[in-house]
Every structure is written in structure tokens, then in C-alpha cells.
Structure 1
Amino acid sequence: MTNFAPLKAMSLKAMLAIASLSMAAVPMALPINAQAAAASEQTATKNLNQLLIGIKSMTANFSQTTQAGNKKSQFTGVMSAQRQNQFRWQIKSPAEQLIVANGNTLWVYDKDLQQATRQAVGNQVGETPALLLSGDPAQIGRNFSVSQPNTARNYFVLTPKSSNASFKSLSLSFNGGRPVMMVLHDNIGQITSIRFSNISLNKKIPATEFNFTPPSGTDVISQ
């Protein structure tokens, strides 16, 4: 059976991953000098917002690794994101799985299981790291506590303020103004790392990219 957990982690129930908004891969664990000054939470939030506000849309390839104890799962695929709350995350290997959000409805589709889950997008930036890049950066301060361990590096750690959030923390790393990597720690002990490559920013993406119609014979579950 196809491992469906990474997709749920990226959607509403566990994420990540996206986790989400997320590219020339560079290491996420950036070395921090012992004397490096950390930013205040207010400054860290402002710095992160300044990076995200300039990203109106993004497309990229990704490689995703999910570690759960001694078990490791690896996936590759393509993604695209565009404001407001338009998002497409497509795993192509080792199995085909898809998350699509068009601003109103979010679909999670597993081709092997012939199953699709449908739910309202709503205001999910606090629950869905995968929608960070496609959402409103101004919401970050309302939904997350943000830290920046070294003001000289664009590396941020986001901790959800909501007690109902499905993950413990999300780290974002930028290179040249582009988000290059995400690392998510969820509430069931999984660590999901996502690296992005072949990044393209601020190009108009057709609305059809974010629409989804379940194929005939698909079992549709509404939440």
C-alpha cells in the first residue's frame, strides 16, 4: 500500500512538510557562530515577512525525506504556489500522489488507492506549512512565534501559537531571496525535510494548475 502519511503531513492533519513557502538546494542546518546575534521575535517576523512578501508565485522541483524512528521515506516531485492559497504539490516517485488547493477547496489524491479527500481551505496558514508561500505573509505573526538564531543568515524557526496545530516547529532557509529548504517536526515524532531546485519566481501560473477533478471511479471523502 502506498505510504499516505507524508501527504497528510503536508496537508491539514500532520504536515509539510509543508511545509511549504519553500529552492538551488543548500543545507538547512546552517552553522551558527557562538557570538552570532539572534534577532528579537518582532525583528525575526519582520525579516521573514520581507522575504515572503516579494514571492507572488513559485514553481520548483523538490526532494522530500521523512524520517520516523529508523524508517526513512524519500519522495521527489514538482510544486507550484500562487497567492491567494493556490497550491499544487505533486509527488511523482516512488508513487503518484497529489495535493491541490485553489483558494477554496483543498484536495488530497492518492492514485494507487483511488482515493481523494476534499476539504475547505479556509484560513489554514496556522495549520498548513505547505500553504505559507501561497498565503498572506502578514498572517505569520498571528499564527507563529518566529525566531532567527543569526541575523546574518536568513534561517527561521516557526512555532505554532495554536495548541491545535499538527506540528511542533517548521524551519525555513533562504538563499538569494529564495526559500531553499523546509524542515518540519510534527507531533508524532516525524521529521520531514524538503529541498527545492529549478526554482522560478513570480511568473503567472494558469488557474487550471490549481483545479482538480477526481478521475472516474475515485472514492471521494469530504471533511
Structure 2
Amino acid sequence: MKTLLISLTLSLAAAGVAHADAVDALRDFARDVKSGKANFTQTVTAPDGKRKKVSSGSFEFERPNRFRFVYAKPFEQTIVADGSKVWIYDADLNQASSRKLADALGATPAAVLAGQNLERDFTLKALASDGGLDWVQASPKAAESTIQSLKLGFKGRDLAAMEIVDGFGQRSRLDFSAIQANVAVPADRFQFKLPAGADLIEQ
């Protein structure tokens, strides 16, 4: 019994260290990673848990508040933030929309990845390790946030995944690969140019 209790205590202590490390990893990421790029696969699951939609693309960012998501499959869509505005372009519709960054960013996943005020916007809490990743919950402090929950998974010190549940109960998971931290990203990657003939809706 004594051996079992010792083993259990050591296991719990080790888990506590791992969880604390995951929170520290997120803080380090927000503080030390000033720019980067990665590929991603996004799986969106309907609230009933049955219907799923998978897409993939690439992601680039530079703090503060500049990022570019490019969805390549199955439909082409580009989301660009230039530091003052966010632009969303749908290639199939040849239509773009824009809104002020302050109105769009807030306590969103993009704010974690490319913002500069992590703990002003989110409350951080360590979660149990799962699927080979150490997880952190980032709860929005803003009452009007459009997301229910946001979790980030780290493999060591590297960001590997993100899970978001929106206000309708839809779950999105992004798995990152080919991550490059603190690499130079050309400034024009965060500038949006309206394609010829495209409609623009400004909000």
C-alpha cells in the first residue's frame, strides 16, 4: 500500500509539472515567438458530433496582429490581417469583406497566435495531457466572446494543435506541421490586394 501511494504521489507530481510546463510553453510562445509559419489541417465537427469537414492550408504571422491564413483545400479562402484591418477573401465567390482589427480580433484564436496581450484577454489553465500533447485552456475574459472554449496542445515547447468550440457548439481542431518559428516573413504577405473584378463588403 505504501509503495502504491508513493507511486501515485510521484505520478501526480510529474503530471503537475507537465501541466505547468504546458502553461509556461504557451506563455513562452506568446512572448518569444515573434513571427512564424506552418501548415495546418483543420477538422470541423458539427454540434451533433457526426458531420465533419476537413480543410488544409498554410499560416503565417508576425506580432503584433499580422497574420495570413490560406485555405487551399477543398475551397480556396484567404484571411489576412495587416495590423489595422482583417480581410477575408472567398475565391469561389470572388468576394472579399473587411472589418477593423479591433472589432475582429478580440479574444479569438488569432489573438493567441498573433496578438500581444495573451493574459489580458485570456485566463490560462493547465489540462490533462492527451494524445501525446500537453494541453492548456485559454478562457476568454470578455463576456461577449464568440467562442465557448479554446485549448492549445504543445509537444514539448512547440505548438502542435488548437481546438476551438464556438458559440453554436461547433468544434474545430487545427493540427500544425512544418512549423518554423522566428523566421522572416515578407511584409507583403500581410497586405491584401483586392483581385480584379472582386466585390468588397466593408463592415
- Shared fold, TM over 0.5: yes
Query: Corresponding residue for 2:178?
Result: 198
- The question of whether the paired residues in 2 share the 8 Å contact of 1:45 and 1:140 is answered with no
In structure 2, C-alpha distance between the alignment counterparts of 1:91 and 1:34, rounded to whole Å: 41
Higher share of residues assigned helix: 2
- The question of whether the paired residues in 2 share the 8 Å contact of 1:55 and 1:133 is answered with no
Query: Corresponding residue for 1:121?
Result: 101
- Residue identity in the other structure for 1:92: A
In structure 2, C-alpha distance between the alignment counterparts of 1:101 and 1:112, rounded to whole Å: 20
The 1:198–1:44 alpha-carbon spacing in structure 2 relative to 1, beyond 3 Å, is closer
Alignment root-mean-square deviation, CA = 2.6
Query: Corresponding residue for 2:29?
Result: 51
**Equivalent residue runs for 1:8-157 within 5 Å:** 35=12, 36-37=15-16, 48-68=26-46, 69=48, 70-122=50-102, 125-136=105-116, 139-149=117-127, 154-157=134-137
In structure 1, C-alpha distance between the alignment counterparts of 2:167 and 2:11, rounded to whole Å: 30
Structure 1, residues 101-124: CA drift from partner, whole Å, max 9, x if none?
111111011010111111111276
Q: What is the aligned counterpart of 1:217 among 184, 197, 202?
A: 197
- Residue identity in the other structure for 1:141: E
**Equivalent residue runs for 1:154-165 within 5 Å:** 154-165=134-145
Larger Rg: 2
- The question of whether the paired residues in 1 share the 8 Å contact of 2:150 and 2:163 is answered with yes
In structure 1, C-alpha distance between the alignment counterparts of 2:128 and 2:110, rounded to whole Å: 24
TM-score by length of structure 1 reads: 0.76
**Structure with the greater relative contact order (CA < 8 A, sep ≥ 6): 1 or 2?**
1
Q: Percent identity?
A: 34
Structure 2 residues without counterparts, runs of 5 or longer: 1-9
- Residue identity in the other structure for 1:167: I
Matched, 1:207 2:167: no
- Residue identity in the other structure for 2:186: P
3-state DSSP of counterpart to 2:196: coil
What is the total number of aligned residue pairs between the two structures? 187
- The question of whether the paired residues in 2 share the 8 Å contact of 1:60 and 1:200 is answered with yes
The 1:73–1:53 alpha-carbon spacing in structure 2 relative to 1, beyond 3 Å, is same
Higher share of residues assigned strand: 2
Query: Corresponding residue for 1:29?
Result: none
- Residue identity in the other structure for 1:219: D
Deviation at 1:50, TM superposition (A): 2.3
In structure 2, C-alpha distance between the alignment counterparts of 1:201 and 1:44, rounded to whole Å: 17
TM-score by length of structure 2 reads: 0.83
